[in-house]
Structure 1
Amino acid sequence: MTHDTIVLGAGMVGVGCALHLQARGQAVALLDRRAPGLETSYGNAGIIQREAIEPYALPRGLSFLLSGVTNRRVDVRYNAADAARMLGPLWSYYRNSAPAPLQKIAAEYETLIALSLETHQQLMHDAGANDLIGGQGYLMLFRTERELHSFHAVADQRATQGVNHIKLSSADVAQEEPSLKGRFAGAVRWTDPVAIRSPGDLVQRYAQLFEQRGGAVHLGEAMTLRRADAGTWQVDTASGHTLRARQVVVALGPWTTQLTSRFGYTAPVIPKRGYHMHYAPVPGQPLNCTVIDAEYGYVIAPMKKGLRLTTGAELANVDAPRNTAQIEAAEHIARQSFPLGQRVEPEPWMGTRPCMPDMKPVFGAVPEVPGLWCAFGHGHQGFTLGPVTGELLAAMMTGAVPRVDVRPFSPGRFG
C-alpha cells in the first residue's frame, strides 16, 4: 500500500491528475468516498467547453443586482444566511468582474481552455470512450433581437481568438430544432465544444483506463489523511488498509479546503450549487443538440437518461438544506419551449461547484506543507479542465516544465 502519490478525489479533476501522474511514471493510488464520477462531475451539462475562454463573471448591471435582491431569478439564487457569510469573497468576485481585471483574468484562463479539447480527446481515444460523444457544438438561444445582436459582438471577438461559431436566424433555429415551441430571435452555435451523453460515465471510463494501466482505485474517507514519520502521508481505505505516499494531491472540489485547513492552508471558496433533472423525450419531438437558454441561464441537454435540465447557480454551502425552487422555476419556463416529457427521477440531483473570487482554478503545491498539493476551484469548468489540470500539475510534481505559465493558478495567491 505504498505509492509515489495519493490523489484524493475521483471527480474529473482528480482522475485527470491520477492519469497524468501515472503517465509520468508515478505509482498512484486514487481514493474517494464514492466511486469515480458520482459527485459534481456527474451532474453538469456534459459540454467540453472549448469556447469558454472567459470565466463566468458576476454581472455588474443595476438591473441584474436589483432583480437578484428578490431571489426569484432562474439563473442565480442564494441562501440568505450563507450568502451573508460569503460577502467578502463575493465582493472580491464583483470587483474582479470589472472590465480591466476581467481582461487579465480571461487571458490567463484562456491558456487552460485552449488545451481542453486536445487533452480530453487523447484520453477519450485511449479509454475507448468516443461512444459517449453526443454531438459537436451547442446552441446559445436568444429570445430578443437586442440580446442576440449584443452577443454577436462577443462571438465575433472570440472568433479572433480562434473560437468558431455560426450565427443562426430565427428561421435557422426553427429548421435546426423543429421541436422547439414559440419563436426565438436566433442563436449562436458554438461549433468547437463537444457534448457528452453521460458526464459521470466519461469520468468512470477515465478511471477504468487508470486501473488498466496499473493504478489503484480505493474507497475511503479523505479526512483520515495525516502526516507520518519520515515525510510520508497516510490515509485509510474503507477496507481497513492504510495507503502511504510521499506526495498527496487534494482534489476534493468544494471539500478541498476543509481538509487542507487542517494543515494550515485555506482559500475563500464560493460554493455554487446546481441541480439537474432528467425528462423522458416526447415521441416524435427530438431535441437535436444541447441548448442554453441565454435569458434564463438553464441548459437542456440530450443525455443517456433522457433530456437533462440543469440550473444556473445557487449560492449556498455544501451542507445547506436542498431548495428545489430554482429547478422548478426553470422547468416551468423550459416546458413552454422544449419537448420535455415526464420526470424520470424521484427528485432532482444536486451538486456544488467550487468557485474562486478571481474565477481561476487553484492547483500547485500547498505553501509551507512539503508533499501536499491541491487542485480545485474550477467553478463551472471542472469537467472541461480536469485533464489539462492533471497534465500541468503532473509536470510540476515531477520536475518537468508545464506547457503554459502556471503561476496565475498557484495556491499561494490565497492564504
Structure 2
Amino acid sequence: MARALLPLALVGAFLLVAPPFLDLGWQNALINILIASLFALAFNLLAGQAGLLSFGHAAYFGVGAFAALHLMARIEDGLGFPTPLLPLAGAAAGLLIGLVAGFFATMRSGVYFALVTLAIAELFHSLAPHWQGVFGGEAGLSSMRMPWGGLIFGSLIEVYYLTLAWVALSILLLWGLTRTPFGRLALALRDNEQRVRFLGYNAHVTKVIIFAISAMFSGVAGALQAISNETANYVLFASGVSAQVVLYTFVGGATIFFGPAVGAVIFTLFAYLVSDLTRSWLLYQGLIFVLVMLYAPNGLGGLIHQHLRHRGQLDWPRLARPYAQATLGSLLVASAAIFLIETLAVVFSRDYAVARRDAGGGFPTYEVFGLDWTPLSPVPWLLPLALFTAGLWLVLQARHPIGALWQRVRAGSEPGVNPS
C-alpha cells in the first residue's frame, strides 16, 4: 500500500511546491493539465466504470463553464457569493443537465447510446451561438474573478491553487465512489447488465445516476476552465472537445482509475510543447492514439500498472537489453515518420506553392529541422526509409525475447503452473 501511495505523494508534493518557481506559461499549462485530468476521470466514471461510452461529454463541460460565468457576473454586480465556491455552479448545472440527458440517453445502450450523447452535445453546439441571453451568442460570455477573503484572484498562481484544491477534492470523491457498493454495482452493470436486472436492481435508474454524477464532475472541470480563462463560447460544446476526452481516457487506460489522468497529462503537455513547433501536431496526436490502441489496448496507464504488478516476477536484467533495443528502434521509426510528415507538410504547403511559382515552376530547396533539402534529391526520401527500416528491424529483434519473458511471467501467475 505504501509503495502504491508513494508516486501519488510525489506528484502531490510537486503540484504543491513547484508552481511558484515556474513561469506563467508553465503555471497555465499545469492548470490545463489539472482541468483535463478531472474531465477525463469524470468521463471515465461513465465510460470505464459503467461501460457507457459517451461521444458528447463536452455538453456538460460547457454547461458547467457557462453556469460559473453567469454566477461570476452576478458576483460582479454585488452578489455576496464566495469566489472559491464558484465551481459549485458548474457542478449543479452539470448534475441537472446530466439527469435530464442521462434519462433519455440511457434508454439505449451500445452505439445507440453513444449517438444519442453525440446528438445532445451537437444540440448545445448549434443552439449556443443563437441563444444570446444564456450563452452570449457567437462572442460567448466574459466575466472577472472578484476578490474574496483577502485573495484577489488576479494572479495566475492563486487560480492555480484554487484549481488544485477543487481537482484534488473531486478526484478524492470520485475514487471514494469507486470503493462504495454503488461503485461495485457500476462495474457489475458494465460486465453483465442482464445479471444486475436479475438481482433486482433497476439498471436504468443506476445508469442515470452514474451519468449524472459524471456530468456533475465534468461541470466542475468546465467551471474551473471558465474561472481560469474568465471567458467561454460555444466552441466548448464542439465535438472536438468530446473527442479529446475520449483520447485522454483510452490512451491513458480506461481500466485503471488514474489512467485517464495519465492520458490527459500526456496530451496536454504534448499540445503545449509541440503545437508551436509544427502545424501537424494534431496528426501526431492521432498517430499516438492509433499506435496505443493497436499495441497497448489497455492504455499507457495499464501498461505501467502491469509492470508494477509483476515487478517482483520480471527478470529485469534480461529485459533491459531488449527494452533498450525496442526503445531505440521506436525512436528511429518515430524520427523517420516525423521527418517524412514535416517534409510533405512543407512540399504541399501553400507557401511552397508560391515559392515554386516564383522559381518558375521548379522545385526550390526547403528547410526542415534547420537544414536545407532539395525535393528532387534522393536524400530526403531515402533518409526516412533507412531510419524506418533500421528501427523496424530493431523492434522486431526485441519482440521475441520480450514476449518470451512476459509469457513466463503470465505462466507463473496462473495457479498450478510451473513457470520453468
TM-score (norm 1): 0.22
Q: State the structure with bigger RCO (CA 8 A, min sep 6), 1 or 2.
A: 1
The structure whose residues are more often strand, as a share, is 1
TM-score (norm 2): 0.22
* Higher-Rg member (1/2): 2
Q: Which has the higher helix share?
A: 2
